[in-house]
Amino acid sequence: MNTIQLSVIIPVYNEEEGLQALFDRLYPALDKLGVTYEILFVNDGSRDRSSAILREQFQKRPDVTRVILFQGNFGQHMAIMAGFEYALGQRMVTLDADLQNPPEDIANLLAKMEEGHDYVGSIRRQRNDSWWRHVASRAMNSLRERITRIKITDQGCMLRAYDRKVIDAINSCKEVNTFIPALAYSFARNPAEVVVGHEERAAGESKYSLYSLIRLNFDLMTGFSVVPLQMFSMLGISISVLSAFFVAFLLVRRLIVGPEAEGLFTLFAIAFLLIGITLFGIGLLGEYVGRIYQQVRHRPRYLVEAVLEGRRAGSGMEE
Ligand code: UDP
Ligand code: MG
């Protein structure tokens, strides 16, 4: 049995401009490693020529290339999930298709794994993203570290290496909306991090808008912790205690000084603040209910249209 030592999993969504440059650097970098490897591209329903380009590449290197074609756009994390389920390697590395992380750094991740780590995360040496993403991600990092037990220095970087055992645990989860580096971290026995390079996007544009980044962080908080809900019960208790004192005070004042009519707008201000907090609380509750709903529906998380792979992969189908 010739086992595959390394699977590299790459989600691809509308990356036609950058794919050739990726191939030109990735294959030589992996050939140099001296391990048996496979590269799994997952085309996440691209609407450009990406899938045609991947098909051509598969024909050029069918020995080490496999391509999973999704029927539609199911998101980066579902694409990686599909990769995990199909991959055969003893170790897996995830990498973005946009060359923001140098493929040559895969060697460093694997070297770190040799030291006995089953999860190797990455920290970007210097980030080349817009300034608001720096600020926002730093804020989210510290909030996340406080309410979940997940300690990832740099959550935004997808260049990461995982051991087969961690991947098996992830594969048994079937989570619908999840954040893979965090999920993997929670299963890792001995995680580590290394510093990797980070460049500006060479071609194409970022698929993440401000909205989807906010969504992602909600998934991260609600998917890995119930602390936000618990904070609401604590807040409710504190406000009840405060209002009890306030009621007692007003009662006494009314008996001594008589009825009052002023302070109307102060009352409004307090009421609006509390309404705001209540609405946020309902929304937060909705986040959890929504997650439960998506989970119990048991719909397929992604749909695969075709898999391009050589005969070697066993159950695989031919082109
Ligand atoms: N991606 C994907 N499906 C999506 C969005 C993105 O497969 O719906 C892929 C994309 O092709 C890239 C990776 O996920 O390989 C990261 O996306 P991007 O570079 O846009 O994110 P950023 O680096 O800006 O966080
Ligand atoms: Mg990117």
- The pLDDT tens digits of the residues spanning 49-62 come to 999 999 999 999 99
- C-alpha count within 13 angstroms, C-beta hemisphere, residue 206: 15
Ligand 1 pocket member 133 (CB < 6 A)? no
pLDDT tens track for 238-262: 999 999 999 999 899 989 988 877 8
Per-residue confidence at 76, pLDDT binned at 50, 70, 90?
very high
The pLDDT value given to residue 28: 96
**Residue 148 to residue 156: CA distance in whole angstroms:** 17
Distance of CA 132 to the CA centre of its chain: 19
Measured in Å, residue 94 CA sits from the centre of ligand 2 at 12
Ligand 1 atom 24: residue of nearest CA: 206
Residue nearest to atom 6 of ligand 1 (CA): 76
Mutate to test the pocket of ligand 1, among 42, 98, 101 (most ligand atoms within 8 A of CB): 98
Check residue 258 and give its pLDDT.
86
Residue 18 beta carbon below 6 angstroms from any ligand 1 atom: no
Give, for ligand 1, the residue of 96, 177, 179 to mutate: max count of ligand atoms closer than 8 Å to Cβ.
Answer: 96
**Most confident option among 55-69, 208-222, 299-313:** 55-69
Residue 120's SS3 state is strand
Q: How confident is the model at residue 318 (pLDDT cuts 50, 70, 90)?
A: very low
Query: Quick one: tokens of 72?
Result: 């539609």
Return mean pLDDT, the chain: 90
pLDDT, one tens digit per residue, over 88-143 is 999 999 999 999 999 999 999 999 999 999 999 999 887 777 788 788 888 888 88
Residues near 169 by beta carbon (within 8 Å), at least 6 away in sequence: 187
Round to whole Å and give the CA distance between 245 and 264: 19
- Helices then strands, each counted (H, E), the chain: 10, 8
> Contact at 8 Å (CB) between 234 and 195?
no
Q: Is the CB of 130 under 6 A from ligand 1?
A: no
Strand (E) or helix (H) holding 292: helix 264-297
Q: How many CA atoms lie within 13 A of 178 on its CB side?
A: 21
The ligand 1 atom nearest the CA atom of 74 = 8
Q: Separation of 207 CA from ligand 1 center, angstroms?
A: 5
- The phi, psi pair for 2, rounded to 5°, reads -95, 105
Residue 272's CB is within 10 A of a number of other CB atoms, namely 10
In this structure, the chain runs to a length of 319
Query: How is domain 6-213+300-309 classified at the CATH fold level?
Result: Spore Coat Polysaccharide Biosynthesis Protein SpsA; Chain A (3.90.550)
Mutation probe of ligand 1 site: the residue of 207, 215, 216 with most atoms within 8 A of C-beta: 207
Q: Which amino acid is at 12?
A: V
For the full predicted model, state whether its pTM sits above 0.75: yes
Tokens of 83: 């990769």
The residue with tokens 């001296």 is: 34
Crossing angle of the two packed helices 180-187 and 210-224, in degrees rounded to 10 = 20
**Structural domain spans, the chain:** 6-213+300-309, 227-296
Nearest CA to ligand 1 atom 14: 76
Give the Cα separation of 228 and 67 in Å (integer): 40
Summarize the chain as % helix, strand, coil (round to 5).
Answer: 50, 15, 35
Q: Is the CB of 76 under 6 A from ligand 1?
A: yes
Closest CA to 68 of 37, 50, 38, 43: 43
